[in-house]
Amino acid sequence: MYIKDPNDDPAKNLVTDILAELLKDESNGIEAAITGAEANAKGADGTAFRMLEAARGFYFSEAIDGHYIEEVTEQDARTKKYTFACHGYSPEKEGYHTVFFAAGKGIRPGISIKSMHLVDEGPTFARLLGLDLGDTDGSILDGILDI
C-alpha cells in the first residue's frame, strides 16, 4: 500500500486505523500488515507505507470494482477469472511455492531447478540478452542457459 503524499499524516493515520480494525476479524482475509521498513527487511519495496499478508485461503487482487471479499468457485479458477495479478503470499510461509518456466533461444531444454530466488531472474535475463547487470543481489541461473 502506498500513500500518494508521504507527508500526508492524516491519510497515514486513517489507513493505519482501518487496517487495525480489519485485522481484528479473520474473515477479512488479512493476516498481517507490516511497515515499509519491515517490508524492506524482507526484500520487498521499502517505500511502501504498508504491505499486507493474505491469510490462508485468501489473496489480493488489483481489481477496483466488485465486492470487498468475493467467493471464488472451482469454476472461477478454471476459467481464470481470479488468477490475474493475485498477490499476498509471503515466501516465508510454509507450503507456498511459485513456478518459473523458460523456453526458447538460449535456454537448455528439459532442465529442472529445485530452488531459485526472484532476484535471479534479472541477471539471468540480462545474460540471455548479452548484458551484464554488474553487482546484483541475484545470481545467473547458468544451469538453464545454453549460450
This prediction has a pTM of 0.63
The answer on 71 and 33 residing in a single domain is yes
Q: Which of 78, 112, 129 delimits the end of a domain?
A: 78
The answer on 62 and 14 residing in a single domain is yes
- Structural domains of the chain, count: 2
> Are the C-beta atoms of 39 and 46 separated by less than 8 Å?
yes
- Domain assignment present for residue 4? The answer is no
For every residue of the chain, which 3-state class applies, written as one string? CCCCCCCCHHHHHHHHHHHHHHHCCHHHCEEEEEEHHHHHHCCCCCCCCEEEEECCCCCECCCCCCCCCCCCCHHHHHCCCCCCCCECCCCCCCCCCCCCCCCCCCECCCCCCCCCCHHHHHHHHHHHCCCCCCCCCCCCCHHHECC
pLDDT at 4 over 60: yes
Range of the domain at 127: 98-147
Write out the three cell numbers for 115. 530452488
Confidence of residue 134 (pLDDT cuts 50, 70, 90): very high
- Domain assignment present for residue 21? The answer is yes
The answer on 119 and 63 residing in a single domain is no
The answer on 69 and 17 residing in a single domain is yes
- Domain assignment present for residue 83? The answer is no
Average pLDDT rounded to a whole number, residues 135-144:
92
The answer on 64 and 113 residing in a single domain is no
The answer on 74 and 41 residing in a single domain is yes
pLDDT at 12 over 80: yes
The answer on 73 and 125 residing in a single domain is no
- Domain assignment present for residue 91? The answer is no
